[in-house]
Structures are given as C-alpha cells and as structure tokens.
Structure 1
Amino acid sequence: MTVPLGSVPQSGPEHIPDEAAATSAVDPADVLAGLGSSWTWILGSAVTTLVPGILILVWPDETLHVLAVLIGLYLLVTGGFRFVAAFARQEHGERLAGLLLSVLFVLAGVLCLRNPMQTIAALSLIVGVVWLVSGMLTAYTALAAKDLPHRGFVFGAAALGIVAGIVVLALPAESALALTRLLGVWLVLLGVAELVLAFAWRAALHRSRTADRRGTTATV
C-alpha cells in the first residue's frame, strides 16, 4: 500500500530568509516527499491496484499470458508509486524500507513481463511473496510511527495484504481460471482499502490546515 507514514505535514507558511531563499536550490527529495505525502498520490496508487483487479474479474477467461502481463504492469506501476511515497517518510529507516519495497515490486513486475508464459505456480509465488512482504513492512512502520493519522486504517490495509499473500502462497491455484479469480478478488480488496486510506489521509490534511489557520488567526 502506498501510504505516507509519518505525521501530517503542516500547511502553514514558513518564513525563509531572503538570502537563504535566493541561494537555496530545489531539492528533488523534497519535491518527491511533497508529492508522496499528497492524498491524490495515494488515490492514484489505489486506482492502479483497483483497475487491474476489475479487468481480471471482468475477463476471467483470458489466457495466463494476459494475466501475467496485467500483474506485471500492476507491480511495475505500483513500484513507482511506492518509490515516490518512500520519500514522504521522515525517518531514515522507514524511507529505506520503502525504497527496498519499491525495488521488490519493480523486480517482481519485470519477472512477470520477462516470461509471461511461466507456470501458474511461479506467478502465484511472485505475487504472494510481494504481498506478504509489503503487508509486513507496512504493518511494522504503522506500529513504529507514533503520530501516524488513521493508524487503524493503515494497519488494517497491511493485514489485508498479509492475508492475501498467505492465501496465494498456501492455496496455489490448480488452474488459470482459479488463479485469475483469486488474484482479481484480492486486487479489488486491496484497491478499495487504499481508496479508504486516500480519503482518510485527505481528511487528516484538511484538519491540519484548519487547525493551522485557526492558530494563525489567534496569534494576529
């Protein structure tokens, strides 16, 4: 799940000395952090997960080749979203975990696209491992981040990813149709969970801006 783990960024204006503003350059990491902490970025990640799941369920009779391509594209795009979201994490350890997780998604996506005619067991193994590791890391960082808004939602989404990984790994599908339905259902569930997180994060940002404006008005 693409979730900016950390406190809600404050939206109030910050005073920057003229000399510092003139001499400072734009830091790409700061740009990525601002993008990754945006609720619309989480929404984009949710759509990236939800759309392949719907497509897989709508066309369950497609070949294993098509399924592998859809899963591969999902993993690649999600890896990109997670890479940017990792910069929104304030702690160095959390950022490193996010970056490693994004690399895992990209590598898994490349494996699916590089050999789309692979066996059902291989595709199940790739997706199951990615979901399991992703859910475990998200759960750990959700517990470690003390000031994380809506921690319950984040932990619930992480638990869903863990369960999805365990189910795919423990119950390997014996046919392409069974695997298609299994992966499609889990993608839709994970996508819906990310949609909930996106709007929860939007609400947290809105409350932060409202509190900041009230504080500014009170000091005037």
Structure 2
Amino acid sequence: MAMSLDAAAEVFREAMRDAVKRYSLWYLVEGVLLIAAGFLAIIYPVFSSTAVIVLLGWLLVISGFVQALSLISARHVPHFWLQLISICLAVLIGFLFLRDPAQGLATITLLLIVFFMIEGISKVVFALTIRPFPNWGWVLGSGMVGIVLSLVLWANLPVTSVWLLGFLLGLNLISVGTAIAYLAWQVRAG
C-alpha cells in the first residue's frame, strides 16, 4: 500500500530531527565557527571582501589548470574546443581577479546576491521541514536574514562598495551561525 503525502512528509521530518540530534555537537561547532568568521568579516569588511575575490581568483586559476590537465588526454571528446575556451576563460578571469581584486567587485556582488538568496531559501525550507522541532524559528529567521541581505545588495547594485560586501557577508555568517548553534545547543540540552 502506498504511503500518503502527509505520512511521507512526517517520515522526512522525523529523519531530519534525528539527524540534527545525532550530529548536534558538529552543528554547535559549525555555528560557533560561523559566528567567529562573521565577526571577523564585520570588523575587517574590506579585507573579507578582498579575500573572497582573491579566493575566487585562485579557485578559477587552479580549476582551469586541473581541467586543462584532464582535457589534454581527451582531445577527441565532443565539444573539445568549447571546453578549451571555457578553461582559458576561467584562467584568464582568475588572473584578472588576482591582479586587481577591485575589478571583480561587480561579479562578486552578483555571486553574493545569488548565494544569500539560495542560502536563505534553503534555510527557510529547512526550518519549515523541522517546524514542530523546538526553536525552529531561529533557522527560519536566519533564512529570512539571508533573503533580506540579497535584496539589500540588489537594491545597491550599481554603487555597491567593498566594505558593504564584507559587512553583509559578516551579518549573514553570524545569522546562520547563531541559528545553527542555538538549535544544536537546545537539542543537546533537551
């Protein structure tokens, strides 16, 4: 006999609750580390924004070289030239980010908008999934903060400054870290 949608949803919710209980110590550690990273990003907003751009630059360069190495032995794969052009663009953009991180500000702003929005939506969905769980509202609030931060960045898009990116990134990290740590703390205490 097939399971009803409500019964399947309840099984899924119970599995999520069990996972949070089982790994509560790791969630607590993750939350504390996110809070610490968030405070550092707020204290040093220009440094944190520049660090994100430089990190993205290195990731593009390294991934481009790794893809190039794997593509050397695959010259006969379909769309070889298209993949080669993609690799060259990744390395070129990575080097541009590393040469002048301020040039990558608009790109990073768009990426952070997408990141904040997707993370916010995923936190809202997660909160609604564990909803009868005590203190699920903290996770919901954290998701809402992510969504609001993405909208703030979107509204300031043409004139976004480096310090604003670092500051908003810090706020998001603190929000997510607080929600995760508080939820894990309550699970461990209860």
1:55 aligns with 2:44: yes
Indicate how the Cα distance of structure 1 residues 132 and 198 shifts in structure 2: closer, same or farther if over 3 A, else same. Answer: closer
Give the match for residue 165 of structure 2.
183
Q: Which amino acid aligns with 1:39?
A: L
Task: Look at both structures and tell me which one has the larger radius of gyration over its CA atoms.
Answer: 2
List runs of 5+ in structure 2 lacking aligned partners: 1-14, 59-90
Task: Provide the identity percentage.
Answer: 18
* Distance in 2 separating the partners of 1:135 and 1:169: 15
**Which residue of the other structure, out of 109, 115, 121, is the alignment partner of 1:124?**
109
2:30 counterpart letter in structure 1: W
Taking the TM superposition and a 5 Å limit, the aligned residue runs for 1:83-98 are none
Q: Whose RCO is larger (CA < 8 A, sep 6+)?
A: 2
Matched residue, 2:126: 141
Please tell me the root mean square deviation across aligned C-alpha atoms, in Å.
Answer: 3.7
Contact preservation (8 Å) 1:7, 1:149: no
Q: Distance in 1 between matches of 2:39 and 2:54?
A: 14
Cα separation, partners in 2 of 1:36 and 1:172, compared to 1, 3 Å: farther
Residues 1:72 and 1:136: Cα distance change in structure 2 (over 3 Å): farther
For the Cα contact (< 8 Å) 2:31–2:178, is it kept in 1? no
Q: Which residue of 1 aligns with 2:179?
A: 197
Given that 1:139 and 1:154 are in contact with CA atoms closer than 8 Å, whether structure 2 keeps it comes out as yes
Matched letter for residue 149 of structure 2: A
Instruction: Pick the structure with more helix per residue.
Output: 2
Quickly say closer, same or farther: Cα 1:197–1:121, change in 2 above 3 A. same
Query: Runs of at least 4 residues of structure 1 off by over 4 A?
Result: 8-11, 71-74, 112-115
Long gaps (5+) in structure 1: 12-32, 77-109, 209-220
- In the alignment, does 2:160 pair up with 1:150? no
Q: Does residue 1:6 correspond to 2:16, yes or no?
A: yes
CA distance in 2, matches of 1:53, 1:73: 18
**Number of residue pairs the alignment of both structures matches:** 139
- TM-score (structure 1 length as normaliser): 0.50
